[in-house]
Structures are given as structure tokens and as C-alpha cells.
Amino acid sequence: MAFYIAQFLTGLASAASLFLVASGLSIIFGVTRIVNFAHGAFYMLGAYIAFTLTERFSGALGFWGGIFVAALVVAVVGVLVEMVLLRRIYHSPELFQLLATFGLTLMVQDIVVLIWGPSDLLGRRAPGFKGAVDFFGQNIPSYDLFLIVLGPVVLGILWLLFQRTRWGILVRAATQDRDMVAALGVNQKWLFTSVFAVGVFLAALGGALQIPRDAVHHAMDLRIIVEVFVVVVIGGLGSIIGAFVAAVLVSELNAFGILIFPKISIILVFLVMAVVLIVRPWGLFGKPEAPARRTPGLTVNPWRPLTSNERLAAIAMLIVAAALPFFSGNYALTVGSEIAIFVIFAVSLHFLMSVGGLASFGHAAYFGLGAYGVAFLAKLAGLPMIACLLLGPLLGLFGAAVFGFFAVQLSGVYFAMLTLAFAQIVWSIAFQWVAVTGGDNGILGVWPEKWAASPSHFYWLSLGIAALAVLILRIIVFSPFGFALRATRDSPLRSEAIGINCKRIQWTAFVIAGTVAGLAGALFAYLKGSVFPDNMGISLSVDALVMVLLGGVETVSGAVVGAIVYKALNIWLVSQTDWSKLVLGAFIVLIVVAFPKGIVGTLESIISRRRKSSSSNSPLLTSRIETAE
């Protein structure tokens, strides 16, 4: 019995540190709607700065003071980030801010190694909490007890802050309806800045408080960020109490789960999230999101098929691309094939995101399923390459059909997180089922047949399929189905009213996107000659998101440009510099500032503004519409 109580308390201690970070993320998202990917980076910075301060200043005051000051310093950094960077892009398309915070995260990962060196650092133990308390023969670290108390205390302080102060009332109001708060004359700028500061402070405090238990190292951020997102979503976005309950739930299930299934930690949080979201689509304590009041038609330049001149230009560009093998070496061709494959992958996600309005955080699952499909067919069934390329993506189709059915029942960030959960579940199956998938050692020897083996042939194959995929998806966009899909995106209520079966349309779109992603994965398997669980990992899903956002969500085919720019830059930087993450991150941040609607999106709006002013269409009117957004 004493053991189970000890295990329970241990779980509570883990929950407390999770809660601190999660609550900050939850507040930030609730008010500003920013998916703050950099939250883990702030957590890590908190730990590093606290490490430096507590090493320098000794004694109890030095330690606790160091932790507090570290959180404050990081909060100031957060304020600067918000004022200099995020303020510029609040009016960008949804999720665009994710791109900025992703860039920051990349930069911070390299910066901490530059400043603090590559080795893992061991922080001091907390003065007064070094030992353990004997609990009927079980040792419980006194620092754990401190954390167990701290969690509810922070919860209480936040509750008071939100219920008893004017600032808290504004924050709650903004969480519920920020347009209304703005209409009532509240200075949103400072509200957002202060909320961001509080959120970052909590993240940094969570990180700083880890130094007596953890090692401080440069991968801390990635370790926590996904888990924290999951906790926030299980609890319900914007709900502090929800975050607390979810943190306790996840930590306790983990503490007791490992007694029965020692391998469960790797997937547990995602299983819990999938179950919670299917049963309660807005998390445990969340409320349904109010229908969007924004009319998307105003922000988007109306979509239209390419004019015949533009078609000729596109064909000319394709011909130029197809001529690459005549004047470049094998390496450039292989990189070209890889970029073409990522164009396919990115346009498939783009189709789901921009036409369907469904942002998937787990799109790599279908890419990976396509790749594994090919690997199984080629290695186990011994099918020829053409058959594999045609049949392999069916595994992606199948996965998309099953998971898509559940996912399209949700919308917005909940949809995104459910897709993430499914992707992680698929990933962990590939990772754990060693007998079939080879585990993380993957499946080797999936090389193309002779006719496609030479780099130029494979390049033509990839380029051809990529062009075909873009073409087909464009045809779908301008087909009746595409119009119906856009209707469900712009107004679910109105489209249902005119007889469109929203869920079925979205489900179909999900399956189409998943199949095309599977096709990209199938080609990728042949390009690399091997398949690994990595092919369906979170980082690949994030890459796809970044490509789409970089190109511009509100465009028809912006992802093509986004994929080319991002992938080419990534490959080139990794090859050229030791600090590729720092440079790539800085570059993404710059693009975010320079092209607030994505590269293609911003260019399009500049061109259309020119066109309008040259055709002496009242420029006053258009500018007014834009400011009215």
C-alpha cells in the first residue's frame, strides 16, 4: 500500500512541473490564439539561465533567487519577442505565428550550445530539499514534496489573478471573445504582451525548477513541447484548471502504467489525448469554440484558375526544371528529386489546410504509411516497382480513411491535435513492432529498379509525378467538390443549410490528402532506399506545416514554392554550416516579417494591389476593407 501511495505522490510531482509549463501555454493560446511552438525554448532558456545564476550565487538565497530571476529574465526576452516579432503578424492567416515561433525554437537550440557548450550540465540540488522523506519504508524526495505543494499553489495564484483582478477579467474575456474585447476599447496590444510575459514566465519557472532533478541540455525543449501541447489540449484550451487536471491525469497514468506495461510511456499521452478528444471534442474542461466571425472572403484574393498566359509560364518552368539533368551533376539531381517529393507532400497538406481549412499536425503519418507500404510490398511480397508505387500509397489512403473519420468530427486546433495523436500512434507502432517494421532500424534495401535507378531517371519520375499531383489537386480545387469543400471551410453552418454534407466532404478531402502524401512517401522510400519510423515523425509533420505556411495558406499552390524554398535551403545550410539551425531559424523569422502572408501570398497581394490601382479601381475602398478586417 505504501508503495502505491509513494508512486502516486511521485506522479503528482511530475504533474506539477508539467502543469507549470502547460498553464503558460494555455493562457497564451487562449488569449492570443498563438500556437507557441517556442514555449519549450523558453522552458529550456529558463533552465540554462537558472543554472548559471545558481552556480554563481551560493546559499539558499542564491538558489531560490536565481530561479526566480531566471524566470524573470526569460519573461523579458519573451516580451521582446512579442513586441518585435509577434505583433507584426497577429493579422496574418491562422497558424502563421507558428512559423515564427518555430524559427525561434531552431535558433535557441543552437544558441544555447554556443553559449553553454555541448555537454550536459548538472545543476545544484535545492538547499533544504536535498534528501528524502521516509514514508513507511518508501523514500520520497523532499523536493518532490515541494513540487507537489507548489503545483496547487501556482494554480491558486493564477485562479486569484484571473478571478479577482481587472487584468484577469480582461484575459478571460479575451479568451472567450477577443473581437468583442477589442471593440470595447481595451488596449489589446498590452493585454497580449502581458499575457505573453506571464505565460513565458511560467514556462521559464518550470524549466528553472527542473535543475535539481534533471540535466540541463540542448534538447530539453523538444522533450517537453509536444507533451505540454497534449496536456493543454486534454485539459481544454485556455482552461487553467483543465491543464492541472490533465497534467495529473497524464502523470498518474504514466506512473501506474509502467508497472503493467513498461513500454507504455512512449505513447501514453497520445493515447489519452486521442481517447479524450473522441469522447469530449473540446477537452475535459474546454468549451466549444464560437463560430468564426471573420469572413475569409475578405482576406483572400478570390481564387481563379490560371489564365492561359500563366499556364504557359507554368509549363515553361516545368520544362526548365525537366532540363536540369542536361547541365547538372548527380547530386543536384538527387536533391532535385527530394525537393520534388516534398512538393508533393506539401501540396497534399496544403490542399487540406487551405482548401479544407483543416490544419493537420500529423500529416507525416500518411507519408510514412505510403513509404512503409512500398517497403512491405517490395521486401515481403517482392512486387515490381511500378506496382509498389501504385499500391504502396493505398496504405496511406487506408490510414487517412480510418483516422480522418474521427478527426473531421473536430475542428481547429483540436482537429490538429487529434491528427498529431494519430500520427504518434502510427509512429509508435512502426517503432515498437520490431518483428514487422524493424523498429527504429527500419527496413533497408528498397532501391528502385534499373530503369529508374539513375539519378536523372528518378528525377524525371519524381518531377513528373509532382507536376501531375499539383495539376490534379488544382483540378479538384476548381471542381464542384472543391467549391463544396471551400464552403465548409468558410461557413459550416451556411453550407450545411444548403445541403452540403460537411463531414463527408471533409473526410473525402482528408483521404485525398492522405493518399497524395502516401504517394510522396512511396517515392521517398525509393529515393532513400530505406524506410524508418522517422518518416512519420513529428518533425516531418512540422516540416510540412512550415512549407505550407511559408508558401502562403491563402493561395492555391503556394506550398509548391514553400516546399522548394524550405527544402533547398535546409539541405544547403546543413551541408554548408555547422550552425544550420541558427541560420535557418533566423531566415524563417525574417521571411515571416517580410512576407506576413507567406511568400506567394504576399507577392499575390502586392500584384493584385498594383493591378487594382492601375485599373483605377477605387484604391480607397480596398484599403478600407483591409483595415476593417
Partner 1 sequence: MRNYLIGAGLAVLVAGMADAAMAQSEIKIGEINSYSLLPAFTEPYRKGWQLAVEEINAAGGINGKKLVVISKDDNGKPADAQTAANELVSSENVAMLAGTFLSNIGLAVSDFANQKKVFFLAAEPLTDAITWSKGNRYTFRLRPSNYMQAAMLVEAAAKLPAKRWATIAPNYEYGQSAVAVFKKLMSEKRPDIQWVDEQWPPQGKIDAGPVVQAVAAANPEAILNVTFGADLVKLVREGNTRGLFKDRAVVSFLTGEPEYLDPLKDETPEGWIVTGYPWYAIKTPEHEAFLKAYQAKFKDYPRLGSIVGYQTIKSAAAILIKAHSTDPEKLIAATEGLSVSSPFGEITFRKIDHQSTLGAFVGKTALKDGKGVMVESSYKKGSDYLPGDAEIEKLRPKD
- Tell me which residues in 233-262 interact with partner 1 (CB under 8 A): 251, 254-255, 258-259, 262
- Residues in contact with partner 1, counted by CB under 8 A, come to a total of 75
CB of 606 to partner 1, least distance (A): 34
Q: Does 447 bind partner 1 (CB under 8 A)?
A: yes
Q: How far is the CB of 495 from partner 1 (least distance, A)?
A: 40
User: Residues 407-436 vs partner 1: string with x where CB under 8 A?
Assistant: ------------------------xx-x--
Contact pick of 58, 165, 187, 330 for partner 1 (by CB under 8 A) = 330
**Pair 191, 33: CB distance under 8 Å:** no
Look at residues 470, 214, 200 and name the one whose alpha carbon lies nearest to residue 347: 470
Span of 26-34, 276-284, 405-413, 568-576 interacting with partner 1 by CB under 8 A: 568-576
* Out of 318, 444, 487, 603, the residue judged to bind partner 1 by CB under 8 A: 444
Q: What's the chain's length in residues?
A: 629
Q: Are 205 and 20 in contact (CB under 8 A)?
A: yes
String marking each residue 183-222 x if it binds partner 1 according to CB under 8 A: -----------------------------xxxx-xxxx--
- Give the whole-angstrom CA distance, residue 588 versus residue 520: 24
62 versus 412: smaller Cβ distance to partner 1 = 62
Q: How far is the CB of 537 from partner 1 (least distance, A)?
A: 9
CA dist 212 to 43, 65, 193, 288, Å?
Answer: 15, 14, 31, 40
CA–CA separation, 552 vs 596, rounded Å?
9
Q: What is the DSSP letter of 304?
A: -
CB of 283 to partner 1, least distance (A): 22
The rounded distance, in Å, linking the Cα atoms of 507 and 511 is 6
For residue 548, give every residue at least 6 positions away whose Cβ sits within 8 Å of its Cβ, in sequence order, or none.
346, 349, 350, 353, 354, 558, 559, 562
Site membership for partner 1, residue 145 (CB under 8 A): no
CB 200 within 8 A of CB 77: yes
Q: Which residue has the cell 502516401?
A: 518
CA dihedral 363, 365, 370, 372 (to 10 degrees): 160
In 3-state terms, what secondary structure has residue 380?
Answer: helix
Q: Which of 439, 454, 481, 569 binds partner 1 (CB under 8 A)?
A: 439
Beta carbons within 10 angstroms of residue 79's beta carbon:
16
Residue closer to partner 1, measured from CB, 361 or 367? 367
For position 368 contacting partner 1 by CB under 8 A, the verdict is no
**Is residue 623 a contact residue for partner 1 (CB under 8 A)?**
no
Chosen residue from 348, 495, 580, 605 binding partner 1 by CB under 8 A: 580
Write out the binding residues for partner 1, residues 100-139 only, by CB under 8 A.
109-110, 113, 118-122, 130-132, 138-139
CB of 272 to partner 1, least distance (A): 14
Nearer to partner 1, 76 or 122 (CB): 122
The residue within the footprint of partner 1, chosen from 59, 297, 305, 529 (CB under 8 A), is 529
Beta-strand relationship, 121-122 and 215-216: antiparallel
Decide: 99 and 592 in contact? Cβ < 8 Å.
Answer: yes
**Judged by CB under 8 A, does residue 445 bind partner 1?**
yes
Least spacing, CB of residue 440 vs partner 1, in Å: 5
Query: How far apart are CB 107 and partner 1 at their closest, in Å?
Result: 13
**Shortest spacing between CB 529 and partner 1, in angstroms:** 6
Segment interacting with partner 1, rule: CB under 8 A, options 42-50, 174-182, 312-320, 532-540: 532-540
Interaction of residue 329 with partner 1, rule CB under 8 A: yes
> What is the rounded CA–CA span in Å between residue 230 and residue 18?
11
578 binds partner 1 (CB under 8 A): yes
**CA 593, CA 595: separation in Å to the nearest integer?**
6
Q: What separation in angstroms does the CA of 124 have from each of 40, 55, 58, 149, 213?
A: 22, 7, 10, 21, 9
Shortest reach from residue 116's CB to partner 1, in Å: 11
Q: How far apart are CA 25 and CA 15, in angstroms?
A: 15
